[in-house]
């Protein structure tokens, strides 16, 4: 998605250790106009798919998911992160390993809001090692709902997450795939996608 790649080039900051900071428009301050365009692009890439619910994960996925949901005219459910063992039987639970924070946490979603009749699109801001997305896919499977696909704003193509998700046969669409970054020159290399020619 050209608009997004241009924005990442302009406002993204490359930090040591392959960190890409995009918190001026994506995950701390949020550019809602850009989110609208992101929503239209996901709608284009999942055209013809029957989707009745978007599932995301707190916190930075929520804003994007809600604006994207307008393009699909569906409600959003967000999975909650929790470190407390959930004793109630009214939630689906999965485990997510966070490399950033060096710990494992549970993600939960109320059984009420994910059922076998749902056709679910996963939405998140970043895909790196794929653990969060795998956790969300787990919740969908536990509920008996149908996983239609996953929409990611920025995929780190040099990490394993994208390959893992695609190898499971999940329809994954990443609007920008970063194949390489150079901290010293500030350059970012984006993967060419078939959608680019249709822009």
Could you list the residues that contact a copy of itself (CB under 8 A)?
23-25, 28-33, 35-36, 58-59, 62-67, 69-70, 73-78, 80, 109-110, 112-113
To a copy of itself, the closest distance from the beta carbon of 92 in angstroms equals: 12
Nearer to a copy of itself, 115 or 189 (CB): 115
To a copy of itself, the closest distance from the beta carbon of 36 in angstroms equals: 8
Nearer to a copy of itself, 1 or 91 (CB): 91
Nearer to a copy of itself, 76 or 147 (CB): 76
To a copy of itself, the closest distance from the beta carbon of 169 in angstroms equals: 27
Q: Are 85 and 112 in contact (CB under 8 A)?
A: no
Q: Are 84 and 70 in contact (CB under 8 A)?
A: no
Cα–Cα dist 187/13, whole Å:
10
Burial group, residue 55, by CB count within 10 angstroms (0-12, 13-18, 19+): buried
Between the alpha carbon of residue 159 and those of residues 120, 193, 195, the distances in Å are 25, 17, 22
């Amino acid at each position: 998605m050209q608009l997004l790649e241009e924005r990442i080039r302009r406002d993204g900051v490359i930090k040591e250790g392959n960190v890409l900071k995009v918190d001026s428009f994506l995950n701390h301050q949020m550019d809602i106009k850009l989110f609208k365009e992101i929503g239209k692009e996901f709608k284009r890439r999942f055209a013809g798919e029957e989707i009745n619910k978007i599932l995301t994960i707190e916190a930075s996925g929520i804003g994007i998911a809600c604006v994207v949901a307008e393009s699909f005219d569906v409600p959003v459910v967000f999975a909650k992160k929790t470190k407390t063992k959930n004793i109630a039987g009214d939630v689906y639970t999965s485990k997510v390993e966070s490399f950033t924070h060096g710990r494992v946490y549970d993600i939960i979603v109320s059984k009420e809001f994910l059922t076998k009749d749902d056709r679910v699109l996963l939405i998140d801001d970043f895909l790196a090692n794929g653990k969060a997305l795998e956790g969300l896919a787990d919740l969908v499977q536990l509920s008996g709902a149908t996983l239609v696909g996953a929409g990611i704003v920025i995929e780190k193509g040099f990490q394993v997450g994208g390959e893992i998700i695609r190898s499971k046969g999940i329809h994954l669409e990443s609007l920008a795939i970063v194949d390489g970054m150079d901290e010293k020159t500030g350059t970012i290399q984006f993967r060419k996608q078939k959608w680019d020619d249709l822009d």
